[in-house]
Structure 1
Amino acid sequence: MRRHTITTAVVGLTAALTLAGCSSSEPADTQDTSSSASPGSAADFNQADVTYAQGMTMHHQQAVDMSDTVLDKDGLDPEVARLARDIKDAQGPEIRTMEGWLEDWGHPMDHGGHGSASGDEGHMDGMVSAEDIRALERADGATASRLFLDQMIEHHEGAVDMAKQHRKDGHNPEALQLSEDVITDQQAEITEMRQMRKTL
């Protein structure tokens, strides 16, 4: 009789513990969220992603600044003006996206030193030198149209090289998708700019 009572108690205790375990939930700060983490989360990137986002943010910003420079010109070729607006429309939002990633990853951009079209980062792929930027700023509309295409072709080629390298080394899915988009879009623009340049 006593053995039956003990066995019944053990079974009951085991069932209670099992039910308690099923109904309880881990505290939010101890749950494993790695499998459901968003692509831009701190748990889903590597140093190559950080380096790429920082470098491409500066690279894009120079392209936007160059576009602003030529759009202020009188006598700019209409197709060059359209291209400059397209570049701003595409790369401005990408800059904000990459800056958001870097904030999430704990590596924010230094806004005191990045983003100018001065050419100080000329060691980066395709970045336009300070001297060439000054030439673009001084040029009249017709000359600026040609300079802009020449400089932006090289600039885009550098961006494509950076994106291809990131496709090899990066980890973050959203950043890798951006790199793929950069390769596709900017190679298409390079082809377009080379064709435009033949007529100027």
Structure 2
Amino acid sequence: MRNTRTSMARRTALVAATVTAGLVLAACGGSSDSGSGGHDSHTAGSSSSSPSSSAAAHNAQDVSFAQGMIPHHQQALEMAKLAAGRASSAKVKDLAARIEKAQDPEIRTMSGWLKSWGQSVPSAMPGMDHSAHSGMAGMMDPKDMDKLAKASGAEFDTMFLTMMIEHHKGAVQMAGTEKTKGAYTPATSMADAIITGQTAEIKEMNQLLGRS
């Protein structure tokens, strides 16, 4: 009888030990899951904060690129808008429309960069003073713009294409400097896109002028 009681006591102790071990393991498992969840949350938080960190990674060249390319694009848009009512060639009108479609969003993007960097944004007012930027690569002076605004038909087509080729060459030159010296990845990526897109348009415009 004593042996039976001893055996039962041992079994009870073993069961209690097993249950306790199970609870300890479960608690450890819960701790591990919680830790994993916490790590994932931290990782996600780090990822979401990385754009802010990269946004600050710009240099003086990036600022110069945006502040120069905005008025450069604005003049191109001003020239392109004239084509709708003055060009005689459907191909010139189509090109002008594509220039507007590509460059207008880029102006907004670059303006956003400058604002986030605490830098001044060039004015986007219609009838901008081109003389202030006439020394920039490819920019037309006020006399050139006046002549274009007064031209129409085939004369406008030739003048527009000739002027826009020079304008695009200036933009490609500016974009090349940004690619080489810029630090802000979105800006250098835009510069690369400008080089690719506007080089192709230069070739197209030369073909329209019969130069190829």
In structure 2, the partner of 1:71 is 84
Structure 1 unpaired stretches of 5+: 1-21, 23-30
Using the aligned pairs only, state the percent identity: 40
Is 1:63–1:152's contact at 8 Å kept on the other side of the alignment?
yes
Amino acid at match of 2:117: W
Distance 2:77 2:124 in 1: 17
**2:94 is equivalent to residue 85 of structure 1:** no
Where structure 2 has 5 or more consecutive residues not aligned to the other structure, the ranges are 1-34, 36-44
**8 Å CA contact 1:65, 1:117 repeated in 2:** no
Deviation digits for residues 9-33 of structure 1 (CA, Å, limit 9, x no counterpart): xxxxxxxxxxxxx9xxxxxxxx999
Q: Which has the higher helix share?
A: 2
Give the Cα–Cα distance (whole angstroms) in 2 for the partners of residues 122 and 113 of structure 1. 17
| Aligned counterpart, 2:179 | 167
* 1:139 matched residue in structure 2: 151
Contact 1:126 1:158 in 2 (8 A): yes
2:206 is paired with a residue whose SS is: helix
Distance 2:184 2:107 in 1: 16
- Name the CA distance, whole Å, in 2 between partners of 1:61 and 1:44: 26
Instruction: Specify whether residues 38 and 118 from structure 1 end up closer, same or farther in structure 2 by C-alpha distance, changes over 3 A only.
Output: same
**Cα pair 2:67 2:122 within 8 Å, conserved:** no
Matches within 5 A, 1:48-67: 48-67=61-80
Q: Amino acid of the residue matched to residue 65 of structure 1?
A: E
Does residue 1:98 correspond to 2:89, yes or no?
no
Q: Give the one of 189, 197, 200 matched to 2:209.
A: 197
Pick closer, same or farther for the CA change 1:142–1:114 going to 2, 3 Å: closer
CA contact (8 A) 2:70 2:122 kept: no
Runs of 4 or more above 6 Å deviation: 112-115
- In structure 2, the residue matched to 1:36 is 50
Contact 1:61 1:117 in 2 (8 A): no
Q: CA offset at residue 117 of structure 1?
A: 6.8
- Assess, with a 3 A threshold, how the Cα gap between structure 1 residues 113 and 140 changes in structure 2: closer, same or farther: closer
| Mapped partners of 2:96, 2:194: distance in 1 | 16
Distance 1:71 1:119 in 2: 25
Whichever residue aligns with residue 99 of structure 1, its letter is S
For residue 118 of structure 1, report the CA deviation from its aligned partner.
3.4
One-letter amino acid matched to 1:118 = H
> Which residue identity is paired with 1:96?
R
- Give the TM-score normalised by the residue count of structure 2: 0.72
Change (3 A) 1:153 1:39: farther
1:46 corresponds to 2:50: no
* Kept in 1: contact 2:66–2:110 (CA 8 A): yes
Contact 2:61 / 2:182 at 8 angstroms: preserved in 1? Answer: yes
User: Aligned pair count?
Assistant: 171
